[in-house]
Amino acid sequence: MGRLSTDLCGIEIDSPIIPASGTFGYGYEYAELYDINILGTFSFKGTTKEPRFGNPTPRIAETPSGMLNAVGLQNPGVDRVISEELPRLSKVFGKPVMANVSGFSVDEYVETCAKLDSQEQVGWLEVNISCPNVHGGGMSFGTSADSAAEVTREVKKVTSKPVIMKLSPNVTDIAAIARACEEAGADGVSLINTLMGMRLDIRRRKPILANRTGGLSGPAVFPVALRMVWDVYKAVSIPVVGMGGVSSAEDVIEMMLAGAAAVEIGSANLTDPYICRKITEDLPELMDSLGIENIKDIIGGAHNG
């Protein structure tokens, strides 16, 4: 492994750069643009037990330094992901992939995770208990320490691969929820998902999004995400995957200094589909300028300053 390699829940990856779920499809779309094997891994589109069409349109709204989305977990369902998406992906990506899972009940999380855990190409299960754009599931499990722990505990009973719980920033104390997940057996946590927000059409005097609210992402949320990664790193001993507004190699270094073992890049992929490749290429030169030999040596480094 080279100087960009890092350890993620016991699996060595040769880059800390991970495209985030919902912004990279199932991978092969981006493989038409560049060799995605330069990435450490990627988190594929949020997958549920049953197919989902998603929320009504419009479900995207622009904001200063970011965007709101209320896509609503549109996906073909876990069985089709296994029978169609993963075989297509295997032709263009030769590394373990991170399976992002959502659900509307504990039983749904358990069934979907069990099916994906059995797939050879899946390296990690990223369990999304933080989606703000669906009703009756998603974020409702991530705003309570008890509910977050319950999902973690039940998923761990049926899986053998590392389980990473994806946490919501729409809470009072994200560190407490991270600790609850760790105590319930989580192998890692990823954060943050999007912040709840909305926009109004001042001419129609109505919300722009059909769902009324959506998840805010983009550079505007980076300072919030960085603070939460910092707090969670101090609170737990399991790996933290940082995300939220990351759009440059400098942002990656900052996230890792705050405590991230790896860094997911989300909405930046939607504005520049080559951004993950660019950041991967920019990192070694930036590391040289900062006197960093190996990227994993700086994880949590700002806590010792």
Tell me the catalytic residues: 131
Please tell me the number of Cα atoms within 13 Å of 300 on its side-chain side.
13
Using a 10 angstrom Cβ sphere, with 0-12 exposed, 13-18 middle and 19 or more buried, the burial of residue 135 is exposed
| Other Cβ atoms closer than 10 A to 111 | 16
- Closest by alpha carbon to 152, among 193, 185, 114, 116? 185
Tokens read off for 192:
């943050």
Using a 10 angstrom Cβ sphere, with 0-12 exposed, 13-18 middle and 19 or more buried, the burial of residue 53 is exposed
Length of the chain equals 305
For the chain, the C-alpha Rg in angstroms (whole number) is: 18
| Other Cβ atoms closer than 10 A to 191 | 27
Residue 240 to residues 177, 226, 252: CA-CA distances in angstroms?
13, 12, 13
122, β-bridge pairs: 97
Q: CA 155 to CA 284: how far, in whole Å?
A: 37
Residue with tokens 């995605």: 36
197, β-bridge pairs: 214
Cβ neighbours for 1, distance < 8 A, ≥ 6 positions apart: 12, 14
